[in-house]
Amino acid sequence: MTPRRGGQAVDASWRRAGIVAAVVLVVDQVTKALVSSDVALGSSRQVIPGVSIVHAENSGVAFSLLTGSEALVVIFTVVIVAGVIAFFARHRQRRLLWLATGLIVGGALGNLVDRIRSGAVTDFIQLPHWPAFNLADASITVGVAALTLAIVKANDWGWRSPGIIASVAITLVSLTLFVVHCLRSANPFVDPAMFRIRQYTGAALVMAPYSVAFGAMLLSTVLWDQTIWGWSALKTGLAIAIGPLLVPTTSLLLGGRLIARFGAANVIVAGIAFFAAGMIAWATLLGSAPDIVTSIAAMAPVGIGVGLTFPTAMGVGSAALPPSMFATGSGTINMIRQSALAIGVAIFVAIVGAPHSPAERLAGFQRGWWVLAAIVALALIPTLVLIRPRRQPAPAAAERDRIAPSGVEEAPELP
């Protein structure tokens, strides 16, 4: 009877996935048909503040990526659907995997039907500052989510498991499509012209590793205090409060003065150094025995570092942009920051793994804090290369001769 029940469970998983895919496909096609018949191509109707129903068509994939590359789009869709079904076939016993599989396959097939029938996909949902999309579009979110999933589950599934390989592949493909869209589209989601501005690019590249380290630091310190030292949530909050308190204090009282005197690049370098010092202190000074004094002392340089780096990098990036790019530019840096926070948490979880003894837990956390110190140090490269002002060449000899000892330029002789 057991094999029969197992077979019935397997059949039920396939049935559920098929039903979900069919429902998604039908709903997708019906909503697109309603929009096509009731909303003129290129027009828009506001449903609620911030959300409009539009009628747009694109020949690319989600969010109009790869527009004009129909053959590549079809191949990409078929490969993704085949990969998802193959993964489901191997791991269909996982809880709710049937639901995820049905949603992905149904959405992909819905857009594929559009391409085969009319050569373009109907998009009809419009949010502020976001390309029009339909219910099947999620490539950017899937890219970041799949990367996070791959890192978090690597220790459980194994780095060479089909799930990890598929997650990494989906991540790379999705992010590549996003970059290609930005480079080729006449109306890109992120304007590549922003990254031709030297200091803006530097600020964005600083924010990525710094946010990775920051997100992992938040998770690791709370986990350590509560799960290793056994502190209550209240005691943990009091122990780490020095960090958040020093962020606005450092930024408001010292940040502006330091930037005016030493320059933004040097302030960011100092912030990176303070943050790295805090991570090294956590890795070297803390042990298995609870020590609130050392915990506070190790958290203090982290707070100072964040107060010096985050506001300064955001200010540098925003100030370098022309007014027409300010909203998109600041939003892009925030997108980088939020994505990096999630990735940082995933990285630390993967480093610590599932230790079986207090000694293994201590070693895992210490290893993770050393890695965070190394990751945040990567922010030094864009700071020194892109944010630090370039040295101006010395004036030529003939130009120097025209400058009087008082520093006032001499007027040229009249003929």
- Distance, first Cα to last Cα, the chain: 113
* Amino acid, single-letter form, for residue 360: E
* Other Cβ atoms closer than 10 A to 18: 15
SS3 of 153-220: the string is HHHHHCCCCHHHHHHHHHHHHHHHHHHHHHHHCCCCCCCHHHHHCHHHHHHHHHHHHHHHHHHHHHHH
At residue 390, what are phi and psi to the nearest 5 degrees?
-70, 145
Question: In the structure encoding, which two tokens stand for residue 66, read together?
Answer: 């790869």
**Residue-by-residue DSSP string for 128-155:** TTS--B-TT--HHHHHHHHHHHHHHHHH
Position 315: which residue type?
Answer: G
Among 28, 123, 156, 291, which one carries the catalytic annotation? Answer: 123
- The beta-strand segments (E) located in 49-126 are 51-58, 121-126
Burial of 49: CB neighbours in 10 Å, binned 0-12, 13-18, 19+: exposed
Q: Is 28 a catalytic residue?
A: no
Burial tier of 169 (Cβ tally within 10 Å: 0-12, 13-18, 19+): middle
291 tagged catalytic: no
Which backbone phi and psi does 311 adopt, to 5 degrees?
Answer: -65, -35
The DSSP 8-state label assigned to residue 413 in this structure reads: P
Task: Give the span between the Cα atoms of 338 and 332, in whole angstroms.
Answer: 10
Identified catalytic residue from 114, 137, 156, 191: 137
Q: Any idea how long the chain is?
A: 415
Instruction: Give me the active site residues, please.
Output: 123, 137
